[in-house]
Amino acid sequence: MSNEDEIPKEGKYIYGIIRHSGPVEFGPIGIGKRADLVYGINYNGITAIVSNSPIIIYEARRVNMIAHEKVLEEMMKQYTVLPVRFSTISEHDDDSGILRILEKDYKKFDDLLTKMDGKKELGLKILAHEKEIYANIVEKYDEIRIMRGKLMNLPVDKTHYQRMKIGEMVAEALKKEVENYKNLILDVLTPLTEDVKINDNYGEMMILNTAFLIKNTIEPEFDKVVNDLDEKYGSLMTFKYVGTLPPYNFVNLVINTKDN
């Protein structure tokens, strides 16, 4: 095999789309180890932000994901950003492939940029404190508390069935409580948002795993409401509140680079 066959061809790695005319650069922060320049390729007021890259499939490893995110974060300091799916590479080593993508999908990009203008994504994960939430359940559910009290001083081997029954009741109560808290919190936050994406919970202690799309102008008010909820329920749960994020949950931009 010759050296030429071993070296991947060069293409353009696409990070995101912005509304911008003229040249724009974000410095030598491209994905991979080469520190390629990140810059814009413009078509009729819409710009794809790219860097040179070998045509390879980047593994979804932490170092690569962070490099991709870093570029998006830099873009977001100045622009509304449509994030492009990780490891999207145009198989042309010049601007031609990117220009064809911008021309072909111009209307889609234009509409999405209008829709997302002046908005941002914020993330909220809420996890119940195991000890506190169980104590709260015992206090709140009379049947569980009374049954538990009766078993306290009885031998374990004689009360196996009753203990299993309590375990089932507690599990059911936990599901109910998690759902109640989730709905209470969403009822307070949703009216302030433009859109909400409820993602799957992982683990029975997770109450909420949600992304909110909000107008930039509403952020101080939204922050205050989240802080108020944290104060109100903080003894029972932990709030993990993250912003500002690329709007991945509201823009799913998959670009077909094969036809360009």
Same domain for 141 and 88: no
Per-residue model confidence as pLDDT tens digits over 17-48:
999 999 999 999 999 999 999 999 999 999 99
Same domain for 238 and 181: yes
Same domain for 97 and 168: no
Strand partners, 83: 16
* 3-class DSSP assignment, residue 100: helix
Per-residue model confidence as pLDDT tens digits over 45-88:
999 999 999 999 999 999 999 999 999 999 999 999 999 999 99
Q: Is residue 203 part of a domain?
A: yes
Same domain for 132 and 112: no
Q: pTM of the predicted model, to two decimals?
A: 0.81
Same domain for 132 and 77: no
Q: Is residue 259 part of a domain?
A: no
Same domain for 106 and 22: yes
Q: Is residue 252 part of a domain?
A: no
Same domain for 95 and 135: no
Q: Cβ contacts of residue 235 below 8 Å, gap of 6+?
A: 129, 132
Query: What is the span of the domain harbouring residue 8?
Result: 3-117
| CA separation for the pair 215, 222 (Å, rounded) | 10
Per-residue model confidence as pLDDT tens digits over 114-173:
999 999 999 999 999 888 888 888 777 767 767 676 666 666 666 666 777 777 788 888
Same domain for 134 and 95: no
Identify the domain boundary among 117, 146, 174.
117
| Vertex 192: Cα angle to 187 and 196 (nearest 5) | 70
One-letter amino acid of 191: P
Q: Cβ contacts of residue 84 below 8 Å, gap of 6+?
A: 14, 15, 16, 17, 253, 255
Domains held by the chain: number = 2
Same domain for 124 and 102: no
- Torsion angle in degrees (nearest 10) through CA of 163, 169, 170, 174: 160
Same domain for 31 and 7: yes
Residue 3: predicted pLDDT? 47
CATH number of the structural domain spanning residue 240: 3.30.70
